[in-house]
Structure formats: structure tokens, C-alpha cells
Amino acid sequence: MVTLLTLLALSACAAGPAFHARQIASQPSPSTPAPTPSASPSPSASPSPTARPTPGSLDWYVSQAPTFPAAPPPQPVPLPVTGPIPFWHRLPTDQKVAFITIDDGGLARPPAVADFIWRAHIPVTMFLNSPAAEEHDVYFRQIQVAGGVVENHTIRHNSLAGRSYDYQKQEICGAADKLQTLFGKRATLFRPPFGEYDSTTLQAAQDCGAKAVLHWSETVHEGKVRYQTPEKVVQPGDILLMHFRPALMDDLLAALQAIHRAGLTPALLEDYIR
């Protein structure tokens, strides 16, 4: 358990995703039952050193993950002292980092995701709908153990733009309360469903504990990155959006490869928005 905690501490530091992959490959995976310190590693976490992984297997995904330079020590972005909390498509940073986010949670939850995130050391932020989080809490807790952070994406996933303050606050605070109960941490980031929001959303999110409301810069679906600018390259501070869908393993890999091509390193949003 000491080793696990040490590794978890390492996972929160600035080193890039694949940096620790070889070191932690033989450690217990997040999907291994946690409470017993003597729990042995899951078979899938102990690849034979000489075997070539089968394409599509967890070992294969780990083997395909790029090796990144160490991420720079995070310099948190400035937050306004007064007035509304910010709404960002990308973080205002020049540091050579980009951010991976995974939304929703109700549609599909590929079983190898937590182990992939753990073994390839992928920093992820999950914007969850609270009913899906509650129904599948063990799944999301495994990703949390692997280093993922849970944030707020409302209860019902309805568009908030134009709705009353009371409605928006109920959707945002209601989800924040439930997620805090489930995962032991108050959400500090909020993403509105469909990215649709208004000034009331910013106020309600702030009143529910959010420090920023986030959109995204790129989307990833079925292993393809879709850029919203003609340069087709991930920029420093960009936020990549994917979902808990059947191809999430491919989406994670595609995001890592795109970030690597851009000369950036994946980092954790929560290290930059404090």
C-alpha cells in the first residue's frame, strides 16, 4: 500500500504520461480490489517482457502511448478576484501542455480505461453527470485511483442557456453535492452540457463552488481528433474533449498522439486552475 500511495503521489506530479509507464507496469492496477494490501497484480498488468502485445489489448494500447518530455512545473492561470468566473475554450497559458477531458458517463464505460490511464500515466478530468456517476461509482472511482479527477457536468444533461437561475443552480449544485458525496471532493470545474451557457450559468456555477467554466478546443471521437482551427495542431493550453463512449481507448490514444505531435505534454487541469 505504501508503494501504491507513493505511485499515486508520483502520478500527481509533473512528469509526463508515459514517463512512469515502465516503472509502474508491474504494479497493482486500479481495477485490482484495493482494500487488501497483499492484493496481487491483475494478470493484464504483468505482460511478459518478450511477448508482442495483441493489437487492441490493454498492453498494446500502453505500448502505443507516446513517451513525453516531463511536463513543466505548472504555473496556475490567474483567476479574477471579483466578478464572474471565467469561461475558457483553452487555458490562457504558454506552457507546453494540453488537457484531456472525458464527459458524461452514462453511455459506455470501456473496462480497460482505468488501467490504461494508470499504466500510461494519462492525466484526465472527468465531467460526469451525477446519476451516471452514482450508478457506476466503482468504475469512476477506479479512474480516480488512477489519477483522474471528477468534475461537474450537471444532473440531467439539459442545455442550461436561457433557463432560470433556480433551475441552473439546482442542476449544478445538485450534481456537485452528489459528486462530493461519491468521490470525496467538491468539484471546482464545471462544463455545461453541449457547451451551452449564459451569464446565469456562470453565476450559478460560481455559487456552487466552481472556479471556472470550461468549453473545449478539440473533440476526439472514434480515434480521430477534430480541430476547430485550420492549423490542425494542438496549441498550448488546449482542452481536448472526448466522451465515455465505446471507442474511448482509441480516443485517449489519439489524443496522446496529437498532443505528442504538437510537442506538448498532457497535464491536469486542476494543477492549472486552483
Name the site residues for Zn ion (rule: CB under 5 A): 103-104, 193
User: Does residue 14 contact residue 72 with C-beta atoms inside 8 Å?
Assistant: yes
User: Does residue 121 contact residue 71 with C-beta atoms inside 8 Å?
Assistant: no
Those residues with Cβ within 8 angstroms of residue 166's Cβ, 6 or more apart along the chain or in another chain:
none
48: which DSSP letter?
A: -
Residue nearest to Zn ion (CB): 103
193: which DSSP letter?
A: G
Q: How far is the CB of 154 from Zn ion (least distance, A)?
A: 8
What's the distance, CA 7 to chain centroid?
A: 18
What's the distance, CA 152 to chain centroid?
A: 12
Q: How far is the CB of 180 from Zn ion (least distance, A)?
A: 20
Q: How far is the CB of 152 from Zn ion (least distance, A)?
A: 11
User: Does residue 215 contact residue 191 with C-beta atoms inside 8 Å?
Assistant: yes
Q: How far is the CB of 151 from Zn ion (least distance, A)?
A: 12
Q: How far apart are CA 194 and CA 202, in angstroms?
A: 15
Q: How far is the CB of 40 from Zn ion (least distance, A)?
A: 37
Q: Which is nearer to Zn ion, 104 or 115 (CB)?
A: 104
